[in-house]
Each structure stands twice: as structure tokens, then as C-alpha cells.
Amino acid sequence: MMNSTNNLLTLVPSVNETAIAKFEKPAARMKRNTKRVGIVSELVAMQRFAAAGLRLLLPLGENSPYDIVLEDKYGRLIKIQVKTGRLRRGVVFFNCYSSHAHRGARPEFYFGKIDFFAVYCPDNEEFYIVPIGSKAVTRGSASLRVLAPANNMSKTINWAREYRFDESNPDALFVGVAHSGAAGED
């Protein structure tokens, strides 16, 4: 028979922390929330374009190859795909395709579907506009160099500063771009 000083806790054997740790799941690696990252980049793009006096048109739903359509003061339209850049080794990298691998789908490329990539890089807080036909854009990715390379080779470099969006001169965005369906065109 148990005396009054014994309680339920004395009946359970003590287990040290090392033994408990054996049975715990390893700490889960935080999965990057790409949807949230993309939304932040889209909001930055919208803020920068609105601050520059451009009209923003947003497609309904998520089935368009572009995130934003801009209209300038002349009624010209431009289709923009927003991307998030990653700064690595002095270069801003971004993907030039849409990936839905989690659904078993093949990557979708933007050639012939958009006019520009708008790239927000949270690592350096810069915002770039890159034409789809730019030499910086390849089939799968693009790179914009921020820092000079260690080997001093600079002949084929795509300097990030050449693609930085200038809010005080948004019309530079439209120079040399053919627009389908722009006002006054047939």
C-alpha cells in the first residue's frame, strides 16, 4: 500500500533529456514561402510604378503570364512580369520562367508573352526593369552585375545600374518597345 507522501509522479520513472531527444523529430528546416516573397516584390513594383505616375492594370486571377500592365500618359501599354532577385557574389540573379513543378507541370517561359521583367532585389533593396529581349536575359535565368568581377573582365557584363528603374524618368521604360494594342494604333 502507498503512503500519503507518494503520488503519481513517483510512479513514473524519470527520463533524462538525452533519452527524450532521441525520440524528438529533428528541427524542421524552414521552407521558403515563395508566394509571400513574390507578393512583396509585386507590392514594391506597384509602389515604384505608381510613384512614377504610371497607371497600373492588374489581371484578375493568376493565369496571366504578366503580373502588371502599365499605361503611360500616351495610352501605351506594357506587360510586366515581376520577379524577386537574389544577390549572390556581386550579381543579382532571377528566373526567367514560371515553375509549377510541385504540380508536375513543365516550366513556362515568357518570350513573346511579356515586354519586361520588373525585378526587386531585397538583398540590396534595388528595383530593376529588364526588357525580355535584353542580352541579360537567357531562356532560364538572368543576371545583373552589381560589383566588378574579381578577374576584371567586363566586356560581356550586364551592369545592374543600366537596368535600375528611374522614377523621375519613367518614359525611358517605353523607349524602343513595340506595344500591341496601344492607344491610337490599329
pLDDT of residue 94: 93
Q: Which fold has domain 31-174?
A: Trna Endonuclease; Chain: A, domain 1 (3.40.1350)
Domain spans of the chain?
A: 31-174
pLDDT of residue 105: 66
Distance CA 7, CA 2 (A): 8
Q: What is the pLDDT of residues 11-35, one digit of tens each?
A: 444 545 554 455 555 556 666 677 8
Q: What is the pLDDT of residues 63-78, one digit of tens each?
A: 889 999 998 778 889 9
Q: What is the pLDDT of residues 110-164, one digit of tens each?
A: 889 999 999 999 999 999 999 998 888 887 889 999 998 888 777 788 999 999 9
